[in-house]
Amino acid sequence: MNPTPSSPACRPHAGRVAWITGSTSGIGLAVARHLASEGAAIALHGQAAASAETDALVREIAQTHGVPVRHYGLDLRDGSAIAPLAQRIAAELGPIDILVNNAGMQHVSPLLEFPAGKWDELLAVNLSAPFHAIQACAPQMLERGWGRIINIASVSGLVGVARKPAYVASKHGLIGLTKSVALEFATTPVTCNAICPGWVLTPLVQRQIDALAAREGLDAEAAARQLLGAKQPSQAFVTVEQVAALAGFLASEQAAQVRGAHWNMDGGFAAA
């Protein structure tokens, strides 16, 4: 007999609260929808304050999945504001059980021309913000005896890539942070893992395609093929739904002994 949509088998996170940073579009939004479909209350996050667009997202996810959903705006470059936001989420939705550190920035430039300010911004959002969020959420998880921390890293955290020094450094650091947290919590019911996607067709990647097209005088389709050809042997983009499904697995009971993993979804690039 197949489980019904309201059965525990289909709603394994009923009563849990998930905070996904950078979740108003792309991978983060897909993860939010996936965890909502499994019953979790959702704390959406974006850099900007609430808008008509974010209000519509809140209504859509809440009505589709029948779970509480709220949107929180915060610029993650301000590390001192992250713990107060975690406290606000806990007060309004409940203690955070699942933390998905997804928010990220990108800047592509030769090393010798790379702006120092961009270096600082990327490390603040891509690496320091996950540290602050973990530090803020982990005590609640340990106290409640269950927790899942999922860091969205990148295949660029496993290999070097030219012209992306801050992004590569931050994603390598995020994988290191993942391992350290996983070991520190190894004897507890709180896990920490990282997902390392290759090319996922998100707004962030679309901007890189557009920049490549402009730089090389290509149309969008040719630029996308060139991007995939260099770094994705499968010649196909990873979908946001595939990343969300893996995040759902890492948040599940079946993944209770997956700890400190850096799971790449890159069409075979890291296998070379």
Considering only 42-46, 147-151, 209-213, which range has the smallest mean pLDDT?
209-213
pLDDT at 4 over 60: no
DSSP SS3 for 262: strand
Measured distance CA(263)–CA(248) in Å, rounded:
13
Q: What is the mean pLDDT of the chain?
A: 95
pLDDT at 6 over 70: no
Measured distance CA(267)–CA(246) in Å, rounded:
15
Whether the Cβ atoms of residue 100 and residue 19 lie closer than 8 Å to each other: yes
pLDDT at 69 over 70: yes
The question of whether 72 is a catalytic residue gets the answer: no
Measured distance CA(266)–CA(235) in Å, rounded:
10
Q: What are phi and psi of 158, to 5 degrees?
A: -110, -25
**pTM as predicted:** 0.93
Cα 8 to Cα 2, 161, 180: the distances in Å are: 12, 43, 33
Q: Which two tokens stand for residue 176?
A: 């290191």
Q: Which two tokens stand for residue 56?
A: 């519509």
- Ramachandran assignment for 211, one of left (phi > 0), alpha (psi -120 to 50 degrees), beta (any other): alpha
**Once rounded to an integer, what is the mean pLDDT over residues 166-187?**
98
* pLDDT, tens digit (0-9, with 9 covering 90-100), for 135-174: 999 999 999 999 999 999 999 999 999 999 999 999 999 9
Using pLDDT thresholds of 50, 70 and 90, give the confidence band for residue 9: low
Domain coordinates in residue numbering, the chain: 17-198+239-262, 200-237
pLDDT at 2 over 60: no
Q: How remote is the C-alpha of 230 from its chain's centroid?
A: 24
Amino acid at 91: A
Using pLDDT thresholds of 50, 70 and 90, give the confidence band for residue 5: very low
Instruction: State the fold for domain 17-198+239-262.
Output: Rossmann fold (3.40.50)
Measured distance CA(112)–CA(38) in Å, rounded:
47
Cα 139 to Cα 78, 79, 90: the distances in Å are: 21, 18, 12
* pLDDT, tens digit (0-9, with 9 covering 90-100), for 226-263: 989 878 999 999 999 999 999 999 999 999 999 999 99
* pLDDT, tens digit (0-9, with 9 covering 90-100), for 96-148: 999 999 999 999 999 999 999 999 999 999 999 999 999 999 999 999 999 99
Whether the Cβ atoms of residue 222 and residue 213 lie closer than 8 Å to each other: yes
Measured distance CA(253)–CA(174) in Å, rounded:
24
DSSP SS3 for 13: coil
- CA 57-20-15 angle, to 5 degrees, is 85
Using pLDDT thresholds of 50, 70 and 90, give the confidence band for residue 8: low
Among 28, 97, 150, 167, the active-site one is 167
